[in-house]
Amino acid sequence: MKKSISLVLVTWLFLPCLGLDVETIKQIRQKAEQYYPQALTLRRHLHQCPELCFQEKETSEFIATFLEKLGLKVQTGIAGTGIKAILRGTRKKPVFAIRADMDALPITEQTDFPYASRNPGNMHACGHDAHMTNVLITAKILSDLRDRIPGTIVFIFQPCEEGPPPNQPGGAQAMIQEKVLRNPLVNAILGLHVLPGIPVGSIGIRTGPIMANVASFYVNIFGKASHGAFPHQGIDAIYVASSAIQQFQSLISRFRDPKEPAVLSVGKIKGGVRMNVIAEKVELEGTVRTFSFELQDKIAEGIEKILKGLAVAYGITYRFTFSKDAPFVYNDPELTEFFIPVFENILGKNQVQKVKPMCIAEDFSYYSHQIPTVFFFLGTGDTSPLHTPTFSVDEKILKIGPMLFAGAAIAYLEGFQP
């Protein structure tokens, strides 16, 4: 009787559980717990030295040093500050990649943490400090389990996710151009973003498009100056701009199929000289978010038509630029369906939430238009919104992210059959 119980127990422990056996999950969980104090130190150090788009020099050196100490093959200087580290397991193939972004934002931190930003005006207000820490701890856990990894794992640390200067490729594009997904040829890639509003210990995921196509538009409206008391002698660029902003919203409310999500927001307006001068020039900047390129094109054409109409009606001239930025992030259906039960086994079934597509953007999309990808949101609870001066992650996620990354990597290499 005793013998048969032991046999059942042993069989249960090593039973393949949707690509991941129970013993492996236990080991990963123990290691994430064991390395948690180090995760806190890493994240707080990275949080203190936020660096902007393509300037992540100190961050990059810190990460490379950590990865080299793990014995990984580390390549630095990709797209400037980007890093790729290779962990060889018991076989060369398949190759699975995990990606973190490294850049911070030009925001002045307003928290009381002893580890608040020491770079005035810069802040990790998008949680990329936590993203980097998650991948570093994942690399440490998987290095420990190297003998049990039937394939190769590539850790990617990319610069400049938050958006490059106009007309320059961002971090993901630049890394791809410098062949980060080659040598070894990466078969699939996984990424995450922290997200307030989802409880700590839960994630949000979906198959298909998960984040939006993003475009920015820039409009200059040129009128004619005159005295504010004689508006009929000028062409009021402010009046025309206000009309333009109102009419742009009709592209969402009147010209779009309501079943298809889309957003148009004008985020910046600048114009005029003083209270009693009819403004000669107004500049507008805005963003358009969609989940199809067709709708993106339709909205761009619509903006131009509205401007042409205003030119006829009021006699303005205009300059209009529409710039297509990151495309939508697409979660490969088969790969996502493969990972969902793996994540459920690690976190619990109710902790894996199926989310709707979100209109935020991620340049992870560039990977997802090259190879099969999965991207998910790591819940960070009830914190200030992303991109605000009081944003902070709940540090418990520094245990959860590595468990999910490490579990997914092993499950994929052991059992994914495309």
Number of residues that bind Zn ion (CB under 5 A): 1
Q: Which of 21, 56, 101, 161 is catalytic?
A: 161
Q: What is the dihedral of CA 344, 208, 134, 70, to 10 degrees?
A: 100
Restricted to residues 108-137, the positions that interact with Zn ion (CB under 5 A) are: 126
Give SS3 for 263.
strand
Place of tokens 């990865």: 67
Decide if 240 contacts 222 (C-beta within 8 A).
Answer: no
- Our CB check for Zn ion shows the closer of 100 and 126 to be 126
Q: Is 245 left (phi over 0), alpha (psi -120 to 50) or beta?
A: alpha
- Our CB check for Zn ion shows the closer of 143 and 390 to be 390
- Our CB check for Zn ion shows the closer of 126 and 181 to be 126
For residue 56, which phi and psi values (nearest 5 degrees)?
-80, 55
CB of 274 to Zn ion, least distance (A): 36
Q: What is the DSSP string of 146-166?
A: GGG--SEEEEEEES--S-PST
Which has the closest alpha carbon to 157: 88, 226, 76? 76
CB of 323 to Zn ion, least distance (A): 18
CB of 255 to Zn ion, least distance (A): 29
CB of 391 to Zn ion, least distance (A): 10
CB atoms within 10 A of CB 167: 7
**What is the enclosing helix (H) or strand (E) of 284?**
strand 281-290
* Residues sharing a CB contact under 8 Å with residue 173, sequence separation 6 or more, in sequence order: 363, 366
CB of 127 to Zn ion, least distance (A): 6
Comparing every residue's Cβ against Zn ion, the nearest one is 126
Instruction: Let me know if 161 is a catalytic residue.
Output: yes
Q: What whole-number distance in Å separates Cα of residue 214 and Cα of residue 323?
A: 9
Q: Which of 21, 56, 101, 103 is catalytic?
A: 103
For residue 141, which phi and psi values (nearest 5 degrees)?
-65, -45
- Our CB check for Zn ion shows the closer of 146 and 387 to be 387
- Our CB check for Zn ion shows the closer of 154 and 160 to be 160
- Our CB check for Zn ion shows the closer of 85 and 126 to be 126
CB of 208 to Zn ion, least distance (A): 21
6-24 core/surface letters (b: 16 or more CB in 10 A; e: else): eeeeeeeeeeebebbbeeb
Q: What whole-number distance in Å separates Cα of residue 212 and Cα of residue 217?
A: 16
CB of 235 to Zn ion, least distance (A): 39
Place of tokens 């340049």: 363
C-alpha 373, offset from chain centre: 13
- Our CB check for Zn ion shows the closer of 55 and 152 to be 55
Instruction: Let me know if 301 is a catalytic residue.
Output: no
Structure tokens at 292: 């199809």
Q: What whole-number distance in Å separates Cα of residue 397 and Cα of residue 379?
A: 8
- Our CB check for Zn ion shows the closer of 83 and 316 to be 83
Q: CA 304 → CA 214, 270, 411, distances in Å? A: 18, 19, 49
Decide if 286 contacts 320 (C-beta within 8 A).
Answer: no
CB of 371 to Zn ion, least distance (A): 21
Contact positions toward Zn ion, by CB under 5 A?
126
Q: What are the residue numbers of the active site?
A: 103, 161
